[in-house]
């Protein structure tokens, strides 16, 4: 199987916002509690309650932005329950996710501490579904007001003198579903009302994100843009990759080639979704001022046997690695409109980077793709033309290769490639136009002979990146390489 790729190294097609590599951590299952927060008294080494091993691993990803506290949890979350002395905080039931007790020990102060420890920008999602305008207004005041005010005084009494810097603020989540079961027309008006009181205090400037469509609900996008487009900076979009569909859902492991193929095809559907939502946004916002914020994406499988169905804990295999790579290539292609994307979720939930069990921790294949691809963050996307064979199963086929190229500020060029065919390698001829000769090529590859390959607490390094030795020829204006079956490769030209 062959592929011809042409990269125009002197033709930038936009900037790949680092926020495309964003994350999402919800009060769901063991994401926040156990996965991130263990408390100051835990025997697990921690910094002010946040586990050190997870912190160190996440620092390796340069996480640019972190969305919190939900998800569906956001529209049931009352932030005032999560500030002040921890032992006095209200205990509530997390009705949406497993019916477990939420002790509110991880609240606003702990979240900002996590963001500061990670060097990441906070993205807070406010409560529209069961909250009030006043509650949302006061949260923003609590976090960002510098001066004398009831909320700023309360923040100071709770130990934080200076306000935090907050840019990203979501006005509700999935308001067509768990966030209030609203119609687009109704939510658009609610959005306008709530956002009025989401104020810019002092020098803090908020980027307001309206709750967006579910998958292909183009009516939602059209209505929001028409009725409320002028009041927003971003509009979200949620789409999960769910082989078999939500009614059926399939296991994360033990899948056959038909499920592999179906998953890849579903992942590629993100391209069509972005194109069509963007086309609607273009009608109302041709300047592309409003960002499409894909703040929930990733694989959604059955939970691991024996685990709480409300905790959404699933394993992560080579299949997840390829799905992550395909998504990034799609987001890069649409970087003029896609200003942010947030994988669901960071630890122990859905397509996670990290899985934990007590004091043990492992990095998933998805983690490794985020780590390998971080070179694209804030780089200039380069024009890339791809002419590849197809990967077929039965009557159906999809492109075998997907790719993306970018140029860093220092001139280094990174080219990422995915071979989604689990059986066939691919011979790739890469032509580089507009490049000074004499570049040195290095590469890394994530691959495995078994499509179900994954990391376990006993064998945490079954899937990990290796030096790529598949470059077969380097010439003045290009190179040839052989990509193994089901592989993710990043080539770097210095």
Q: What is the contact surface with ligand AHR in residues (CB under 6 A)? A: 26, 70-72, 173-174, 296, 344-345, 350
Q: Which residue is nearest to ligand AHR (CB)?
A: 71
Smallest distance from ligand AHR to CB 341, Å: 14
Tell me the β-bridge partners of 362.
355
Nearer to ligand AHR, 195 or 239 (CB): 239
What whole-number distance in Å separates Cα of residue 173 and Cα of residue 185? 16
Smallest distance from ligand AHR to CB 300, Å: 8
Nearer to ligand AHR, 237 or 344 (CB): 344
Which residues fall within 8 angstroms of residue 272, CB to CB, at 6 or more apart?
Answer: none
- Which one is catalytic: 26, 121, 174, 380? 174
From residue 306, alpha-carbon distances to 88, 202, 276, 303, 347 in Å are 33, 51, 40, 8, 18
Smallest distance from ligand AHR to CB 191, Å: 16
Smallest distance from ligand AHR to CB 28, Å: 6
Nearer to ligand AHR, 262 or 296 (CB): 296
Residue 296 known to be catalytic: yes
Smallest distance from ligand AHR to CB 344, Å: 4
**Virtual torsion, Cα 297, 302, 303, 308, nearest 10 deg:** 110
Smallest distance from ligand AHR to CB 60, Å: 23
Nearer to ligand AHR, 130 or 392 (CB): 130
Nearer to ligand AHR, 26 or 320 (CB): 26
Nearer to ligand AHR, 67 or 277 (CB): 67
Residue 371 known to be catalytic: no
Nearer to ligand AHR, 163 or 298 (CB): 298
Smallest distance from ligand AHR to CB 312, Å: 6
Nearer to ligand AHR, 122 or 399 (CB): 122
- Which one is catalytic: 121, 296, 371, 380? 296
End-to-end CA distance of the chain: 28
Smallest distance from ligand AHR to CB 348, Å: 12
Q: Token digits for 249?
A: 């859902």
What whole-number distance in Å separates Cα of residue 49 and Cα of residue 116? 14
Please identify every residue annotated as catalytic: 174, 296
């Amino acid at each position: 199987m062959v592929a011809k790729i042409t990269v125009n190294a002197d033709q930038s097609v936009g900037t790949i916002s680092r926020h495309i590599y964003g994350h999402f951590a919800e009060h769901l299952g063991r994401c926040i509690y156990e996965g991130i927060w263990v408390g100051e008294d835990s025997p697990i080494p921690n910094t002010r309650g946040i586990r050190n091993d997870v912190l160190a691993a996440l620092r390796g990803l340069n996480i640019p932005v972190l969305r919190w506290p939900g998800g569906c949890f956001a529209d049931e979350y009352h932030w005032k329950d999560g500030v002040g002395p921890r032992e006095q905080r209200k205990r509530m039931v997390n009705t949406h996710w497993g019916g477990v007790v939420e002790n509110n020990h991880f609240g606003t102060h702990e979240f900002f501490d996590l963001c500061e420890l990670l060097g990441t920008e906070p993205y807070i999602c406010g409560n529209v579904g069961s909250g009030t305008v006043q509650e949302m207004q006061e949260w923003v005041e609590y976090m960002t007001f510098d001066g004398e005010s009831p909320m700023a005084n309360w923040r100071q009494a709770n130990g934080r003198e200076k306000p935090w810097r907050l840019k990203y603020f979501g006005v509700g989540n999935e308001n067509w579903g768990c966030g209030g079961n609203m119609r687009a027309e109704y939510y658009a008006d609610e959005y306008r009302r709530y956002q009025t009181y989401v104020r810019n205090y002092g020098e803090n400037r908020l980027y307001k994100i309206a709750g967006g469509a579910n998958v292909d609900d183009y009516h939602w996008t059209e209505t929001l843009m028409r009725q409320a487009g002028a009041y927003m900076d971003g509009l979200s979009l949620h789409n999960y990759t769910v082989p078999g569909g939500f009614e059926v859902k399939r296991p994360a492991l033990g899948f056959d080639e038909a499920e592999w193929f179906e998953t890849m095809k579903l992942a590629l559907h993100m391209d069509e979704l972005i194109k069509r939502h963007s086309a609607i946004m273009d009608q109302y916002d041709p300047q592309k001022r409003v960002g499409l914020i894909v703040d929930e994406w990733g694989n959604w499988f059955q939970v691991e046997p024996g685990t709480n169905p409300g905790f959404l804990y699933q394993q992560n295999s080579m299949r997840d690695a390829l799905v992550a790579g395909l998504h990034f290539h799609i987001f890069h292609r649409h970087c003029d409109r896609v200003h942010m994307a947030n994988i669901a979720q960071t630890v122990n939930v859905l397509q996670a980077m990290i899985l934990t069990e007590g004091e043990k921790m492992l990095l998933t294949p998805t983690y490794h793709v985020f780590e390998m691809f971080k070179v694209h963050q804030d780089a200039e996307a380069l024009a890339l033309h791809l002419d590849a064979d197809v990967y077929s199963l039965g009557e159906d086929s999809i492109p075998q290769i997907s790719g993306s190229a970018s140029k860093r500020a220092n001139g280094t060029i990174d080219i990422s490639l995915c071979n989604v065919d689990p059986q066939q390698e691919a011979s790739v001829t890469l032509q580089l136009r507009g490049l000074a000769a004499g570049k040195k090529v290095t590469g890394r590859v994530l691959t495995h002979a078994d499509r179900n390959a994954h990391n376990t607490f006993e064998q945490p390094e079954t899937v990990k990146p290796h030096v790529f030795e598949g470059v077969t020829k380097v010439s003045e204006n290009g190179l040839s390489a052989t990509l193994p079956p089901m592989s993710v490769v990043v080539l770097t030209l210095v």
